[in-house]
Structure formats: C-alpha cells, structure tokens
Amino acid sequence: MSSDRLIRIGVIGAGANTKLKHIPGFQAIDGVSVDLICNRTEASSQRAADEFGVERIATKWEEVVEDDSIDAVCIGTWPYLHAPITIAALNAGKHVLTEARMAMDASEATDMLAAAQARPDLVAQIVPSPFTLKWDATIRDILDSGELGQLLEISIIKTLPMNANPTDPMNWRQNIEYSGNNTLMLGIYYEVAQRWLQREPQRVWAHGSIFTSERMNPETGARQAVRIPETITYMADYEDGLQLTGLMSGVERGSGRDAYVICGSRGTLRLDLAAGKLFKAMNGEPETIVEPGPDKIAEWKVEADFVGSIRDNQPVTLTSFEDGMNYMLFTDATRQSFESGGQWVELG
C-alpha cells in the first residue's frame, strides 16, 4: 500500500480498550481514518461513533467486512468472535488487528493462522500483552548475556478479586461461551514468558478450582454453570530443564500480587509489576534495582505498529499470529490438564 494513501479503519467491538486505546490511537496517525463502527447494539455503536466523531455505524459486523471502502478491521470483541471476523476479513482482502486473546481455543487459532498465511500480502496482528513493555528489552539483554547462568525457573503470579464474591454475576471472562479455554490472565501473562525465552515448553500440568458453581448471567437473567476455573496453578517443563511455575487467582481480595521471577544458577531477576520495579540479585551481591535505559523502554504503539506494517510491508513482531497460536496451544493444554484432574499434557 502506498505510504501516502489514506487507510480507512472499520472497528468491530467498541469496548473499554477499543475506546481507550485503539480508536484514539488510530485517529492520532496522519493518513488514517476511523470510518465505521459496529458494536453489540445500534445504540451503543452510535454512542461510540458520536464520542469519537465517526460518521458511520454498522448494525452487524458482516457489514464492516463487506464494505469495499474499508482497508483494515480492528476487532475489539470478546474472543468468541475473533476467529469468524478475522477469517472473513482476511478473505475479503482486509488487514486485521484483533484484540487478545487470539481465539477461543487452539483449533480456532489454527484456522486464523491458515487464513493469514493464505494472504501474505495482508497484515494480521494481535494486540500484545502490554504490562512488561518498559522492561522487555532490558530483560532480553540480561538473558542473552548469560549473566544469570543456567536458567532454572521462571515463575508467574497474578492475583485479583474478580471472582472473589460468590454473589456477583458472571462476568464475560467466566463465560465459556465468550472466552472459550481462556482462563483468567493465563494467556496474556504466558505470552510475556514466550517473548523473553523465545521457546516453548514440552509439557504442562495444571490444577484449578471452581468455587462458585453457578452465577447469574446478566444478559439472560438466568443462572449459568461456571466452567472456567476461578483459580489455577500450573507447571511446565522445557527441554533444557527450565521449569515454569504459575498461579492465576481470581479470588484474592486486596491489592493482589503481580510479578515474574527468573532464577538462574548465578542470579535472579524479579519484575514486580505492582511496584513498577525490576530487581536483580546476583550471587554474593545485594539486590539492586535495574533501571532500563531510555533507548530500551518501549511504550504502547500498537496502532502505529499496525499501520506501519501495512505501509512498509514489515513483519509483525508484537504480536504475530504464530505467537498467538503458541499461547493458545499452551492455554488449551492447561485447560486439558485441569479437566483431566491433573495429568501432564504434552505440547507440540
């Protein structure tokens, strides 16, 4: 696509992140126009359009995909629509930016990846996990240097109270019809481990619990079975002996815990996201705070990266459909282990 040609964006799903990040992000780029919005209802579509000065709305997502004036589609829906919209948009010759998580499960992700590979002339990008962008390059440099020694363990913990109150109605993350196999923040935190380690584990084990077996579905007004774990503990083994351990809890009240720890034979890195600090502790030395250099700090520029890939025909790095496929395989394996009562599940 010519660098001076106007890129027209159609938005499907104008939820919180779309309105906070994607629409204003696109509107801030020269030569990019958000031309069409489709949300879950005509009224909510119109409210979003009015808020951002967009002139047109659509009453169903197919209208956006079929609109010949639209060059690219931004998908901000829950995971249950990511695959059908992505595949339809790519088949219609439109670039795609889809919100994370990539899909409901690895089967859908496989179909999405195949659709993207069939159209190498189009950009297919997933919104990346954003929480560690400030430190990613610095952590990669430390790992690449080998100063931590042989990597022994990476641990991930994320706790929050979204499922703590048993009388609360079902939220969309608990509804398997909208979320599929995605569990709490599992996929979005595992994606960061992929980013740092640049490899996948061999097998996964998981144990989880559903404490409130039914919740009121606010959309139907009826009680619905909860099938997604409200807390899950998992482990994974890598070929070189590295072990991944993790806890995702939705029942911990209070400020919660939010951290990654990488342990090596000579040192440890600890990224405390709650405190916003990266710590390093080497053998025989006191723990220190690592401040990323200004040239190492990345910020949110998802929309600019997407447009840049369209204009310059550059490959997607954050996050590619291949990376999404891998984290969906991990998510599926974790789900399979949970449902099996704690059996190890092979990956790959």
Domains of the chain: 7-128+300-316 (3.40.50.720), 136-299+329-346 (3.30.360.10)
pLDDT of residue 287 exceeding 90, the answer is yes
| 39 band by pLDDT with thresholds 50, 70 and 90 | very high
| Full-model pTM | 0.97
Q: What is the mean pLDDT of the chain?
A: 97
Distance CA 99, CA 109 (A): 13
pLDDT digit string (tens) for 182-194? 999 999 999 999 9
- Classify strands 231-237 and 288-290 as parallel, antiparallel or unpaired: unpaired
Query: What confidence tier does 4 reach under pLDDT thresholds 50, 70, 90?
Result: confident
| pLDDT band, very low/low/confident/very high, at 267 (cuts 50, 70, 90) | very high
Mean pLDDT of 91-108: 98
Per-residue pLDDT, 70: 98
Q: Is the pLDDT of residue 1 over 80?
A: no
Q: What angle, 0 to 180 degrees and rounded to 10, lies between the N-to-C axes of helices 106-117 and 82-91?
A: 10
Q: How far apart are CA 110 and CA 326, in angstroms?
A: 10
- Ranges of beta strands (E only) in the chain are 7-12, 32-38, 56-57, 72-75, 95-98, 124-126, 151-159, 203-209, 214-216, 223-225, 231-237, 243-249, 258-264, 267-272, 277-282, 288-290, 345-346
